[in-house]
Every structure is written in C-alpha cells, then in structure tokens.
Structure 1
Amino acid sequence: MNRPFDMELFLAGVLSGSHTTRQRHLRQAKIVQAEIAKHWLRENPWTWKRKHLTWFLEYRLSERSEVTRYYYVLTLRLLAQRLEAPWTFSL
C-alpha cells in the first residue's frame, strides 16, 4: 500500500522561522509537489531535477505577481537545500 509523500516530514530539517512562515513554505511546497506530479508524474521530491522546479517557476507562476514568485523562490531554495542540490533560482 502506497502512502502519500509527507512534505512536512521532508522539509522538517530545513524549515525555520515563525510558525506562519513554516506553514507558508509547507503549503507552497505541497502546491509545487502537486503540480510536478500532475505534469511530470513525479510525486517524490527525491526524483525531481532542476528542470522540474524551473518549469514550475517559469510556467505555473508566469501569471503571478513578482511578490508571489519571490515567496515561491524562497520555498524552491528550501527544497533544493533539503535535496542537497547546488541549484539556484532567481526571479
């Protein structure tokens, strides 16, 4: 039986800041996960590559405000940190 991937447990080691900030990062990471799973059929962050996160930033957030994109970039940086990947993302 497959259980859904627990994003909260995955990010637990790299999340810091206030409760609200941690909740925002978790919410956004789950949105990223759902979009990548829907488009690329990769539910587990361990199988993601930089192109998946770049795709999300460029195509799924293209209509969003710069402030929203900035907060998602912060979340993507946390995901890359947790994956121990040297990826960088910018607006």
Structure 2
Amino acid sequence: MNITLLIAAAIPGSKSTIHNHVQRGERIATAIQQRYQISTPHQWQAKHLRWFLEVQTAGMSHASRYDYWRTCRALASVLGKWPAWENHLRGNWNIHAAKQRGGRPAKLANRVTVP
C-alpha cells in the first residue's frame, strides 16, 4: 500500500502540510517494515506505532515528536482504528509544548476507501 495515498486521504490542508506528513509517514512505514517485516499499513497494530513513537523519536525535539504523533494519528484515523488506538498512543509526544487547553478539534478524515 502506498503511504502517500493514505496520507493524502487523511490530511486536509496545503500541499506543504501534506508533503511533510507524507515524508514522516514514509519514515514510519520504513522503520516498521525493517523492525517487524510488515509491509502494509493495514497490517499495523497500535503497538507498532507506539514502538515507533517511543523508540525512533526518542532523540528528537518535542515539536518533532508531536509532528510524528500527528502523522500517526492521521494514519490510524484513515485506517479506521483511531478510536480504538487513541489510548495506546498517548505519551509525552502528543501534547504540543505551546498548546493550551481548549481549541478546535483536530481535522481527521473519516474512513476512506483507498483503491
């Protein structure tokens, strides 16, 4: 499965936003494929994304870890797994340092069938 198709279906926004999410999504897919030999996102489980967020982003800045969490959230959403995986993907990476309580809810795609 092409990660670009999933991300494009999941992320509303500008071309640069989508491009950045696609790059992060490809890095996530590559890391999961190398570690678990799982080649398609439809086979992923919450533990795979949690492993990526815990291990692969450990040396990154808080803002970068938050960006990767947002990409994981979008992937889980487009796969139709977000409500079930939300609690498993909580960690110190999912709260942006500058974010205060409140604000508008995240724009996530509804489950989209990708050819």
What RMSD, in angstroms, separates the aligned Cα atoms of the two structures? 1.0
Residue 13 (structure 2) aligns with: 17
How far did residue 57 of structure 1 move?
A: 0.2
Match of 1:60, as an amino acid? Q
Q: Which fold has the larger relative contact order, with Cα–Cα distance below 8 Å and residues 6 or more apart in sequence?
A: 2
Residue 24 of structure 2 contacts residue 71 of structure 2 at CA under 8 Å; is this kept in 1?
A: yes
Percent identity of equivalent pairs: 31
Residue 27 (structure 2) aligns with: 31
- TM-score, normalization: structure 2? 0.72
Match of 1:47, as an amino acid? Q
Match for 1:69 among 65, 70, 91? 65
* Bigger proportion of residues as helix: 1
Residue 40 (structure 2) aligns with: 44
Indicate the SS of the match to 1:13. helix
Q: In 1, distance between residues paired with 2:6 and 2:64?
A: 23
How far did residue 10 of structure 1 move?
A: 2.1
Look at both structures and tell me which one has the larger radius of gyration over its CA atoms.
2
- Residues paired across the two proteins, number: 87
Match of 2:15, as an amino acid? H
Residue 7 (structure 1) aligns with: 3
Q: Give the ranges of 4+ consecutive aligned residues of structure 1 lying more than 4 Å apart after TM superposition.
A: none
Match of 1:76, as an amino acid? C
